[in-house]
Amino acid sequence: MRSERPSAYIGIDLGSSACKLIAIDQDSHIIISQRIIIEDNATEQNPEHQWQTVLKGLEQLIPHCSDYQLKAICVDATSGSVMLTNEQGRPITPILMYNDNRAIEQSLRIARIAPDNTGAQGPTSGLAKLCYFQQQTKTTDYQLLHQADWINFKLGAPLGITDENNALKTAYDPVKRHWPGWLNQIINPKVLPSVVPAGKKIGRLSPALCQHFNIEEAPDIIAGTTDSIAGVLATGINKIGQAVTSLGSTLTIKLISDKPIFKAEQGLYSHRLGQHWLIGGASNTGGAVLKHFFTSQELAELSQQIDIHQPTEDYYPLLNAGERFPINDPTLQPRLTPRSKSDIAFCHSLLQSITNIELLAYQALQIAGASEVSSIDTVGGGASNSAWLAIRQHTLKIPISIPTYTEAAYGSARIAQGKLITPSDEN
pLDDT at 39: 81
Q: Which residues neighbour 45 within 8 Å (Cβ) at sequence distance 6 or greater?
A: 16, 38, 94, 95, 97
Cis omega (within 30 of 0) for bond into 338: yes
Q: Quick one: fold of 238-402?
A: Nucleotidyltransferase; domain 5 (3.30.420)
Task: Please say whether the dihedral angle defined by the alpha carbons of residues 227, 228, 234 and 239, taken in this order, is positive or negative.
Answer: negative
Start and end residues for every CATH 3.30.420.40 domain found in the chain = 7-228+410-426, 238-402
**pLDDT, tens digit (0-9, with 9 covering 90-100), for 131-188:** 999 999 888 889 999 999 999 999 999 999 999 999 999 999 999 999 999 999 999 9
CA distances from 37 to 244, 400, 421 (A): 27, 33, 31
**pLDDT, tens digit (0-9, with 9 covering 90-100), for 30-89:** 999 999 998 876 789 999 999 999 999 999 999 999 999 999 999 999 999 999 999 999
Instruction: With beta carbons less than 8 A apart as the criterion, state whether 27 and 47 touch.
Output: no
Q: Which of 73-77, 205-209, 269-273 has the lowest mean pLDDT?
A: 269-273
Task: Please report the DSSP string for 194-246 in residue order.
Answer: EEE-TT-EEEE--HHHHHHTT-SSPPEEEEEEEHHHHHHHHTT--STTEEEEE
Is 398 exposed, middle or buried, given 0-12, 13-18 or 19+ CB atoms closer than 10 A?
middle
CA 195 to chain centre: 18
pLDDT at 423: 42
Task: Please say whether the dihedral angle defined by the alpha carbons of residues 170, 175, 179 and 183, taken in this order, is positive or negative.
Answer: negative
pLDDT at 267: 74
Rg (CA), the chain: 22
d(CA 196, CA 194): 7
* 103-109 average pLDDT score: 95
Name the band, by pLDDT with cuts 50, 70 and 90, for residue 426: very low
Instruction: With beta carbons less than 8 A apart as the criterion, state whether 24 and 6 touch.
Output: no
The closest alpha carbon to 411, from 225, 281, 170, belongs to 225
Question: Assign residue 15 a region: left if phi > 0, alpha if psi is -120 to 50, beta otherwise?
Answer: beta
pTM of the predicted model, to two decimals?
0.88
d(CA 5, CA 66): 9
pLDDT at 3: 55
Q: Which amino acid is at 294?
A: F
The strand order across the sheet containing 400-401 reads: 269-273, 276-283, 251-257, 242-247, 375-379, 400-401
d(CA 84, CA 44): 13
What average pLDDT does the chain have? 93
CATH code of domain 7-228+410-426 = 3.30.420.40
d(CA 48, CA 169): 23
**pLDDT, tens digit (0-9, with 9 covering 90-100), for 335-382:** 999 998 899 999 999 999 999 999 999 999 999 999 999 999 999 889
Centre a 10 Å sphere on the Cβ of residue 80 and count the other Cβ atoms it contains: 26
